[in-house]
Amino acid sequence: MNDEQEKQHAPEIEALIKIAFEKGVDAAIKAAREKNDPHMLDDFHDALIDRFYQELVRIGKIK
């Protein structure tokens, strides 16, 4: 995926990550799948993994 596509997906991915933290991962995945965009789903997965990892480190669950 090129940088332009990533920039276009960024606001939607941020919204999906917010859903994941507020309503749960299942709700966020459902919302991502409804977009019918495999590239966005892949970008969302990557971003979500990074964010959850960072949050787990921040709260001391992992080092």
Q: Return the SS3 of 37.
A: coil
Predicted pLDDT of residue 45: 92
How does pLDDT run across 4-48, given as a tens digit for each residue? Answer: 777 788 999 999 999 998 999 999 999 999 999 998 899 999 999
Amino acid at 14: E
Predicted pLDDT of residue 29: 93
How far apart (Å, rounded) are the C-alpha atoms in residues 15 and 5? 16
R_g of the chain computed on alpha carbons: 12
Selection from 24, 17, 23 nearest residue 50 by Cα: 17
